[in-house]
Structure 1
Amino acid sequence: MNRRTFLSLAALSGTAGTAGLAAGCGSGTRQHHPEPPPPLDLSNPLRIPPLLDPAREPDGVRRYELIMFAGQSELLPGKPTATWGFNGSYLGPTLRASRGDQVAMTVRNALPEASTVHWHGMRLPAAMDGGPHQLIASGGQWTPSWTVDQPAATTWYHPHPHGATAKHIYRGLAGLFIVDDGLDTELPAAYGTDDIPLILQDKKLTDRGRLDGDPLKGPFGILGDRILINGTYNPRFTVTTARVRLRLLNASNARMYHLAFTDRRRFHLVGTDGGLLPAPVETDTLDLTPGERAEILVGFTPGDNVVLRSLDRGLDIAMGDLDLIRFVAGDQLAPAPALPATLPAPPPIVPPAGARVRHFTLSGRDSINGRPMDMKRIDEVVPVSAVEIWEVENSTGTSHNFHIHEVAFQVLDAADRPTGGHKDTVFTPAHTTVRLAVQFGPFSDPVEPYMYHCHLLRHEDGGMMGQFVTVVPGTENTVPRSYAGVGHAH
């Protein structure tokens, strides 16, 4: 993105941003409450986010530019909505990089307030993580860089300002970040053709198409009745191949999706948050809580016309049957490679004998281990490259989930949850304890912290979050338990 483009987008944000603040969610202005949404025919062509996949420059670095700005989108046809986006008025481009790449980001903030960009699922130093300490002032920019060193995975990026994450994501700031490692050669890989991103979000919209509801009120903030896929309402995707790879991201504030096809066709789960599984797992349903990702392979035959739905799970964050997207197959489909018997999964995470065990209790909507988030307090100190057992107890009668920055973990045991596969976010149902084998990265920094938190955004913003630093083994007791850094954005 050149300077002229940046300045024109910034100028647009100066006008549209004001409209967004006046008409956006939770603004306190008079709202026109909507009628119940009409039945869907799932006829609008699915928008595919543009791919941002820059070539390596002569110095070997791949450079990406993102601008956060306020604009307008038609979330409902013919009804303009004040929204926020990256390099566009809603959502952001799909970033792509390969293992071993040196990547350099320029993130410009043309919003009317400070924000951050967190690389959710990336293994990288804390100073580059984009948590709440790396605030980018309105009109400012941030230039993190790192070397991509992790297995192939579907990660994503989104804002993480403390107390405002729910609002910023709800207004539209989110995008996928695909990591390749050259090993998954037997899986569909033509982006937008047989390798399809599906960013799932629920919204509340007024009858004028404006974002409605307050992301910070009530037990969960937002549980909307209008579903967007890649920002498309009432979407349809035209299938042209006999097998399709769907990269699913739950980018909703609180809603859990219990996914199934209306004909209950079976499909194969091939990847979770942190990479591929050892082998495809056949199933006919899949659960995703906010922040989680999954990769599935779905087979189609000529003339297929089938809907992917979210079924009522009987849970507080997964109520109601909701149509999501229709898949329509043509009369002729390009052949697909055979389903692989095995996949190049990352090695299993195995805690050593005597591994450190840490216990975290999620209580209410605003604390972990009885303490709400404090930006100046370091809660845990972990030696770099450690493998620990984290026990996450949900002591409440409502659903939560749990996300840890930078790490990969495997679920050792969990109520109502399959095990296996590398993850970074996990569902924690009411009155249950989830045990995780957590693998920490090699990045030592006694000052800049990573976060762990509930990824139901109303809970995260309310204080259900903590901070940890990773340090050279043997120095844990020398690390101050208060944050003294100044962040790395400006």
Structure 2
Amino acid sequence: MKSSSTEFFAGKQTPTWGINGSYLGPTIRASRGDQVSFDIVNNLEETSTLHWHGMRLPAVMDGGPHQMMEAGSVWKPYWTIEQPAATTWYHPHLHGKTALHVYRGLAGLFIIEDEDSTALPSEYGVNDIPIIIQDKLVKSDGSFKENMGLTPFGLLGNQILINGTYDPYLKVTTSQIRFRLVNGSNARAYNLGFADNRTFYLVSSDAGLLPEPVKLDRLLLSPGERAEIVVEFEAGEETILHSFAGKGGIENGEFDLVKIIAETSLLKSSQLPNQLTAEPPIDVPENAKVRKFEMTTASAINGKEMDMNRIDEVVPAGAREIWEITNTGWDHNFHIHDAAFTVMDKNREAPPIYERGRKDTVFIPNGTTVRLAVEFGSYPDPNTPYMYHCHLLYHEDSGMMGQFVIVEPGTESQVSQQLPKGNHDH
């Protein structure tokens, strides 16, 4: 992790941060069952962290605000990949500064493969293409404006970078392209589709493949959410991946994202499988525990601002629970660490079809109550918490975050609501 500069705009150097480069970080690929380990070197001049968003792993390896790396230090996380194929990502999670650190460029993809996912277009950079979408506010000298609290939602930029590139285009050589879409923005949501209104197939949500392909012409992604789509192309045609204006709030604005140019001769792709995965859906038992959360303005959940030493929830390992989140304030979304969920309903109605897969982040507009069937991890540790929070990063930094620990089933009542002093005083 280091500071550098990047030429996004001709003749102008923008101060940026990056991982193994000047902006963003490398795509990491691993397979289900792999053991992985990293040496994360902090060559910044300040403390940061690196969180594995969407990963199922022990809390001490999560990279949240308790796994801080001081300037000049090295962090060595390791774990075994024990989850279905998915497009996950990594980014800092330093409490109070997450928005700024991500905005400056510290983020990258972490792709998990398994036998199901490799049946889809899987040649990275050829027919399997990452699309990391980030909005920026840019000064006349090319530097980024860094006022994270410009709107009630945080910073909403008017220039778009795709994979760290301004005004990009992509030449495709195969008749099917799998796009791994990542909303890496601090606050903006994107209503994704194509300028010619062509349809495409949603094949995966945040936390894994859908049971079968779903045909769409629009897809809404709020910050932190991911989706994988497969798009058909014919030789010689052009189109633009576009974000269409939404309902206001974090859905405002209309942007061209990527121009896509099909070569005059395309390699014919095989047909999409009718069944993408046999991974069972996430459901909950009839007597499932229900936890309720209220999100209002920008700095609290259930009326409490984030406290690094307070445990808000205690969850037995492997539990399946119902989490009910009500938003009575501005637009928010909700992300749970070391968990996957399905959206049961929004305002007691079935969620949009693109939100019915396995997820870890969900958009909750103002005036919405969402119920989630949540599947928790199986790494008990009563002394090291995971986070749940709004993934509008300005809101997260302002205190809209809580902490939970996963414990051995039956020991919930033995857990202190305060973390042991000494290890977590930051």
Quickly name the TM-score band, shorter chain normalised. Answer: over 0.9
**Aligned equivalents of 1:453, 1:387: Cα separation in 2:** 19
The correspondence for 1:408, drawn from 340, 353, 357, is 340
Counterpart in 1 of 2:51? 118
What 5-or-longer segments of structure 1 have no aligned partner?
A: 1-67
**Aligned equivalents of 2:81, 2:37: Cα separation in 1:** 11
Are the structure 2 counterparts of residues 76 and 407 from structure 1 closer, same or farther at C-alpha, using a change threshold of 3 Å?
same
**Aligned equivalents of 2:295, 2:307: Cα separation in 1:** 16
The correspondence for 1:436, drawn from 358, 362, 372, is 372
Moved more, 408-417 or 310-319: 408-417
Are the structure 2 counterparts of residues 110 and 345 from structure 1 closer, same or farther at C-alpha, using a change threshold of 3 Å?
farther
The correspondence for 1:328, drawn from 238, 257, 261, is 261
Are the structure 2 counterparts of residues 217 and 486 from structure 1 closer, same or farther at C-alpha, using a change threshold of 3 Å?
farther
**Aligned equivalents of 2:188, 2:118: Cα separation in 1:** 33
SS of equivalent to 1:115: coil
SS of equivalent to 2:383: strand
Deviation at 1:290, TM superposition (A): 0.4
Alignment identity in percent? 56
SS of equivalent to 1:459: helix
Deviation at 1:463, TM superposition (A): 0.2
Correspondence 1:399 to 2:331: yes
SS of equivalent to 2:261: strand
| Counterpart AA for 1:381 | V
Work out whether residues 100 and 146 of structure 2, in 8 Å CA contact, stay in contact via their aligned partners in 1.
no
The correspondence for 2:294, drawn from 361, 372, 377, is 361
**Aligned equivalents of 1:212, 1:450: Cα separation in 2:** 31
The runs of at least 4 consecutive aligned structure 1 residues that moved more than 4 Å come to 485-488
Counterparts of residues 326-475 of structure 1 (less than 5 Å)? 326-396=259-329, 398-414=330-346, 417-418=352-353, 419-475=355-411
The correspondence for 1:152, drawn from 82, 85, 89, is 85
Are the structure 2 counterparts of residues 101 and 337 from structure 1 closer, same or farther at C-alpha, using a change threshold of 3 Å?
same
Deviation at 1:215, TM superposition (A): 1.2
**Aligned equivalents of 1:116, 1:346: Cα separation in 2:** 32
Counterpart in 2 of 1:484? 420
The correspondence for 1:204, drawn from 137, 148, 153, is 137
Counterpart in 1 of 2:156? 223
Counterpart in 1 of 2:175? 242
Correspondence 1:252 to 2:185: yes
Work out whether residues 322 and 371 of structure 2, in 8 Å CA contact, stay in contact via their aligned partners in 1.
yes
SS of equivalent to 2:119: coil
**Aligned equivalents of 1:420, 1:69: Cα separation in 2:** 38
Counterpart in 1 of 2:244? 311
**Aligned equivalents of 1:132, 1:217: Cα separation in 2:** 24
SS of equivalent to 1:461: helix
Deviation at 1:217, TM superposition (A): 4.0
Counterparts of residues 251-270 of structure 1 (less than 5 Å)? 251-270=184-203
Deviation at 1:268, TM superposition (A): 0.2
Deviations 1:286-316, CA, capped at 9 Å, x for gaps = 0000000000000000111101110100221
**Aligned equivalents of 1:345, 1:225: Cα separation in 2:** 41
**Aligned equivalents of 1:106, 1:362: Cα separation in 2:** 37
Deviation at 1:340, TM superposition (A): 1.4
Are the structure 2 counterparts of residues 486 and 159 from structure 1 closer, same or farther at C-alpha, using a change threshold of 3 Å?
farther
Deviations 1:31-74, CA, capped at 9 Å, x for gaps = xxxxxxxxxxxxxxxxxxxxxxxxxxxxxxxxxxxxx0000001
TM-score, scaled relative to structure 2? 0.97
| Counterpart AA for 2:332 | H
**Aligned equivalents of 1:325, 1:402: Cα separation in 2:** 28
The correspondence for 1:195, drawn from 109, 128, 134, is 128
| Counterpart AA for 2:219 | L
**Aligned equivalents of 2:214, 2:114: Cα separation in 1:** 21
Deviations 1:437-479, CA, capped at 9 Å, x for gaps = 0000111000000000000000000000000000011110110
Deviation at 1:251, TM superposition (A): 0.3
Work out whether residues 255 and 290 of structure 1, in 8 Å CA contact, stay in contact via their aligned partners in 2.
yes
Counterpart in 2 of 1:27? none
Deviation at 1:77, TM superposition (A): 2.1
| Counterpart AA for 1:220 | F
| Counterpart AA for 1:132 | P
Moved more, 424-433 or 73-82: 73-82
Are the structure 2 counterparts of residues 310 and 345 from structure 1 closer, same or farther at C-alpha, using a change threshold of 3 Å?
farther
Counterpart in 2 of 1:103? 36
**Aligned equivalents of 1:486, 1:75: Cα separation in 2:** 43
**Aligned equivalents of 2:151, 2:423: Cα separation in 1:** 32
Work out whether residues 276 and 345 of structure 1, in 8 Å CA contact, stay in contact via their aligned partners in 2.
no
Deviation at 1:185, TM superposition (A): 3.4
Deviations 1:74-129, CA, capped at 9 Å, x for gaps = 12222100000100110000001111111111101000100000000000000000
What 5-or-longer segments of structure 2 have no aligned partner?
A: none
Correspondence 1:278 to 2:211: yes
TM-score, scaled relative to structure 1? 0.84
Counterparts of residues 152-171 of structure 1 (less than 5 Å)? 152-171=85-104
Work out whether residues 24 and 106 of structure 2, in 8 Å CA contact, stay in contact via their aligned partners in 1.
yes
**Aligned equivalents of 1:159, 1:478: Cα separation in 2:** 32
